[in-house]
Structure 1
Amino acid sequence: MPDFNSELVNQLLKERRSIYPAQYTGEPVDEKVIKDMIENANWAPTHRYTEPWRFMVFSGDGLKKLADFQSNLYKEASTRAGNFDESKFQKLATKPLLSSHIIAIGMVRDPKESVPEVEEVSSVAMAVQNMYLTATGHGVGCYWGTGGVTFYEEAKPFFKLGAKDRLLGFLYVGSINKEKWPKGKRRPIDDKVEWVY
């Protein structure tokens, strides 16, 4: 059995934070960190080895492509629906540019549908947690958001997702000032657990 350091694991879990793009310094994150994040995501639990996670990584000019795609899709859809908001359009067109990398998070449905969808979504969420923890271990900020075009059916082809697949949001990644790492807060675990003997 490998020699694990449980105290280090406990510390990593307790120090993980959602750190938003507005807090990023603009310094690029080393691509090795991103590769570590997605490799570790691949080791998430998966029922029947369906490995439903799919990721599309945007950086450099790719961030502008993502920004243009999502802002224009929002404009088309909201104009049709009669609820276009210029400030939301501008946010979608500029927010991606604050990040070093953005990882689009997809869930590909098992063609046999032999695993309940909720289990597939849960597997992807655990893969994202692995990315969060890896980023924390490298002192890198990240934030999982489900805004923008996440729930637009017409967005799926851009992310190479089929009709039964799901886009589950975006993991924004950026360098941060480590001296300003946010403090955490949680209510006591005893308020949320009942022990049955």
Structure 2
Amino acid sequence: MIQDLIHKRRSVYPALYADKPIAKETLEELLMAAHQAPTHRKTQPWRFKVFHSEEKRTELGDFLALKYRHTISNYSEFKEAKIRKKPADSACVIAICVQEDPDERVPYWEELAATAMAVQNLWLSCTDKGIGGYWSSPALMQYMNEFIDLAEGEKCVGFFYMGYLKGDLPEPWERNPLDQHIAWY
């Protein structure tokens, strides 16, 4: 039931992933769920750059780590190693990108919102299959055009790290009471 998936969905980090690959067919199924997201004017602005093989995930980690070393003023060797390790500890990393409407019929925020809905579909589908994931939005994503081909008007807005779980899902965090977020009229 969808309500159960919504309540079970968590941010699950690479340290909790098992050393188990995700089949390409499974990834295609997950991405098809993402592709079913609503989109204003049917622009379908989401673009997913999939780093599936160990070689490509290692290359991504190396790129991000070196970019961190050369662009961050408060450099930390520990942080660089952590950045390099995250893609390697994941079964798959997806660069989440948004394509702006070239005809400017839809504002960028709506394209970003549609992409976020696509990621939520992906995330819920992962939860259903026992695959953990989380959306990371590091400052380094602004340099992805140096590593992958991005079309004109396309922007990387984060990474979705994913992998099968070693154990159970982490416990949910305590949310504020619902009435603190609602005003009835």
Asked if the contact 1:29–1:175 (Cα under 8 Å) also holds between the matched residues in 2, the reply is: yes
Are the structure 2 counterparts of residues 159 and 108 from structure 1 closer, same or farther at C-alpha, using a change threshold of 3 Å?
farther
TM-superposed CA distance for 1:159, in Å, is 3.0
Are positions 1:74 and 2:65 aligned together? no
1:149 alignment partner, SS class: helix
Of residues 163, 179, 182 in structure 1, which corresponds to 2:170? 182
Aligned pairs (5 A) from 1:17-28: 17-28=10-21
Cα distance between partner residues in 1 of 2:28 and 2:179: 37
Are the structure 2 counterparts of residues 174 and 148 from structure 1 closer, same or farther at C-alpha, using a change threshold of 3 Å?
farther
Asked if the contact 1:33–1:135 (Cα under 8 Å) also holds between the matched residues in 2, the reply is: no
Larger Rg: 1
Cα distance between partner residues in 1 of 2:180 and 2:22: 38
State the partner residue of 2:160: 171
TM-superposed CA distance for 1:109, in Å, is 0.9
Percent identity for Structure 1 against Structure 2: 36
Aligned pairs (5 A) from 1:3-82: 8-59=1-52, 60-78=54-72, 82=73
Structure 1, residues 164-194: CA drift from partner, whole Å, max 9, x if none? 332111110111134x212223222122112
Cα distance between partner residues in 1 of 2:41 and 2:146: 26
State the partner residue of 2:116: 125
Cα distance between partner residues in 1 of 2:139 and 2:87: 11
Which segment drifts farther, 125-134 or 163-172? 163-172
Aligned pairs (5 A) from 1:82-121: 82-121=73-112
Structure 2 spans left out of the alignment, 5+ residues: none
Cα distance between partner residues in 2 of 1:43 and 1:192: 28
Cα distance between partner residues in 2 of 1:135 and 1:88: 27
1:159 alignment partner, SS class: coil
| TM-score (norm. length: structure 1) | 0.86
Which segment drifts farther, 21-30 or 11-20? 21-30
Structure 1 spans left out of the alignment, 5+ residues: 1-7
Q: Cα RMSD between the aligned structures?
A: 1.7
Q: Which AA in structure 1 matches 2:89?
A: L
Cα distance between partner residues in 1 of 2:23 and 2:151: 31
Moved over 3 A (4+): none
